[in-house]
Amino acid sequence: MPIYEFRCTGCQGKISFLLRSITDSLSPECPHCRGRQLTRIISSFAYHKSEQTRLEEAGPPQPLGGPDYYKDPRNIGQWAEHRLQELGMDIRSEEYQNTFSEVREMIDAAREGEMPEPIKDL
């Protein structure tokens, strides 16, 4: 199902048209000004990086970036995971899957910007 995008030469609005079948005909009209003078534009696209690529591009966490550094939970999660890797523990490996499951959840939450709840005493 192709999506075609146009720019209206009258009102400069951007319009997208979805064709459900390749055999459907397209006679675009601007929904804002009803103009029919449209110019086809190149559609944007999304590119999603893997978590591994994102981590590699970010590099190691910066040393204390100021008094508010650890108020951002993303920094806490990044630092914790980096420190465990320095100690030779890949908490995402099969070897540590059960051992670090709760820690992994907390780090993932912190990396998403959520302040995780502390682990309860056993």
Higher pLDDT pick, 115 / 8: 8
What are the domain boundaries of the chain? 3-41, 51-111
> Which pLDDT score, from 0 to 100, does residue 45 have?
73
pLDDT band at residue 94 under the 50/70/90 scheme: confident
Sign of CA dihedral 97, 91, 111, 53: negative
What's the distance, Cα to Cα, between the start and end of the chain in Å?
54
- Can you tell me the distance from the alpha carbon of 32 to that of 37, in angstroms, rounded to the nearest whole number? 12
The one-letter code for the residue type at 96 is Y
Q: For position 80, what pLDDT does the model report?
A: 77
C-alpha closest to that of 44 among 92, 7, 96: 7
The residue among 46, 78, 73 whose CA lies nearest residue 61 is 78
Mean pLDDT across the chain? 76
Confidence category of residue 122, pLDDT binned at 50, 70, 90: very low
* 92: three-class secondary structure by DSSP: coil
pLDDT single digits (tens) 45-61: 777 888 778 777 776 65
| 47-65 CB burial, b ≥16 within 10 A, e <16 | eeeeeeeebeeeeebeeee
DSSP 70: G
